[in-house]
Structure 1
């Protein structure tokens, strides 16, 4: 029997953003997790795991900034893995500065790059060090507003289908009034469509409800918008696959993230699924305040 090549995930990110929780969650999902592995040992670990007699089929490697040459070394490792045909899925964990500071204050720990300075200075150094790595990530998980359980559910969704074929599409609706998502590959704006918020009988419904969906998708230009988005994404997916990108993130926005963007994302997800594309849907602002 031919040995089944293991899946490979490389996990890094901001200190305090949830690497330990991520490692524990993946371990529970059946991954072999190598934690706190410095970049210079990653290639050796991968070589051992890919050996013909290895029982490991899914390997997750967690690394962090405690090696001061971390960023340059990790970039080199990524290049080497890609050249060898073993490109990992790169997961980057992040959170906003205020939340990171709160977490460090809660556990009364200093930041690994803080030195004699402040927590904020340590965080700033780390962000600068990780900028290039973050830009190369396949998946960026922002844990700012996530509980441990939320993070575990996100990881289960992201990685349970990692063995599936093709490029996975993460579809997200959002409200511009709450800020556009920081990390998307394609951003679409549905604010050109009439807003159901101003229709009294629709205001308390959401885009996942049929009355709102019918209203939004029945407006002039809405079907052409979805058609164009579908055509665009289907044209891009083969290129992403050739470039070794396993995930593509698509965000659709309206004012509040309740009605128009939600209805469009649901319709786009339905049509992409019909085309055989694996899709994950998130409605980021569905339960925020009412105006959409």
Structure 2
């Protein structure tokens, strides 16, 4: 259940932040605090009714919940959500930060931390136990952010786009490129397949470059279908963005995919992002495969 901005301005917004250890809950909590939320992390559940029944704070609140809470209980959290939603004047949202087992294992290996549910055992056991324990919260989450492929900066952008309390905040647009070989990016809203355009990979002089290079962009733009494709895509997005903004949507993610995620999709993502930015939209760009190749070390942990 997402709140539109009109509702958010008339109710006390409460965001409960949870998810498996190492998935980015602490980072999300810090972002919410920067956005002006009253933040309390790991507060005992039995004390929450007293806190929430107190005088209104006049600003939104975010509570961090994880298995380290002294009296952590999935049932108690779900009961709290149901109870608070039944009360007028309080809007409760459950934000769940998820992450794949493989990435969580890597993060624990990098930090050499012990898992709270398996302090004397292998981290994998704790990760599996926690996933089973939190499954009901995952299923009931209002907002789900999968951080498996996100850096700290990516996660900050996601949380800010979704939970910024500024009533004058604009719709944030993310334009991404990717390779179909590695699947669709997580959380993508709209996807365009540009594999029908001629491929610079087969030009030896262009193979090592990417879609940000002028020579590659010129080659891709030279495809007879390119001008009409870009025009139609741009027209569609220009029509949709005001409608999404007026509906209260705070973030839209647009993806362009090609075979390797290096040439055609990058060129299209760059072109559309620049067009939208010139029109005054708040736009960010991400090239998943180029970022993956450029990282000499594993991505920074978002835990």
**TM-score (norm. length: structure 2):** 0.70
Residue equivalent to 2:132: 125
Residue from 232, 242, 252 that aligns with 1:248? 252
Residue equivalent to 2:156: 155
Residue equivalent to 1:33: 39
3-state DSSP of counterpart to 1:256 = coil
Q: State the Cα distance separating 1:224 from its structure 2 match.
A: 2.1
Higher relative contact order (CA 8 A, sep 6+): 2
3-state DSSP of counterpart to 2:290 = coil
3-state DSSP of counterpart to 2:18 = strand
Gaps of 5+ in 1: none
Q: Would the aligned equivalents of 1:22 and 1:151 in 2 still touch at CA under 8 Å?
A: no
Residue equivalent to 1:140: 145
Q: Would the aligned equivalents of 1:15 and 1:111 in 2 still touch at CA under 8 Å?
A: no
Residue from 162, 168, 182 that aligns with 1:178? 182
Residue 199 to residue 84, structure 1, CA distance change in 2 (3 Å): farther
Residue equivalent to 1:13: 19
- After superposition, where does 1:217-228 map in structure 2 within 5 Å? 217-228=221-232
Q: Deviations over 1:223-278 (max 9, x none)?
A: 22222222222333344334432111111111111111111001111111233221
Q: Distance in 1 between matches of 2:30 and 2:102?
A: 25
Matched, 1:165 2:166: no
Q: In the comparison of the two structures, how many residue pairs are matched?
A: 270
Q: State the Cα distance separating 1:43 from its structure 2 match.
A: 11
Residue equivalent to 2:65: 63
Q: Would the aligned equivalents of 1:87 and 1:244 in 2 still touch at CA under 8 Å?
A: no
Q: Would the aligned equivalents of 1:32 and 1:58 in 2 still touch at CA under 8 Å?
A: yes
Q: Deviations over 1:54-107 (max 9, x none)?
A: 5xx6754433463312674476489669x859687x754332112224545732
Residue 153 to residue 236, structure 1, CA distance change in 2 (3 Å): closer
Q: Deviations over 1:137-163 (max 9, x none)?
A: 2x7251x356xxx41464168638943
**TM-score (norm. length: structure 1):** 0.72
Gaps of 5+ in 2: 1-8, 119-123, 295-303
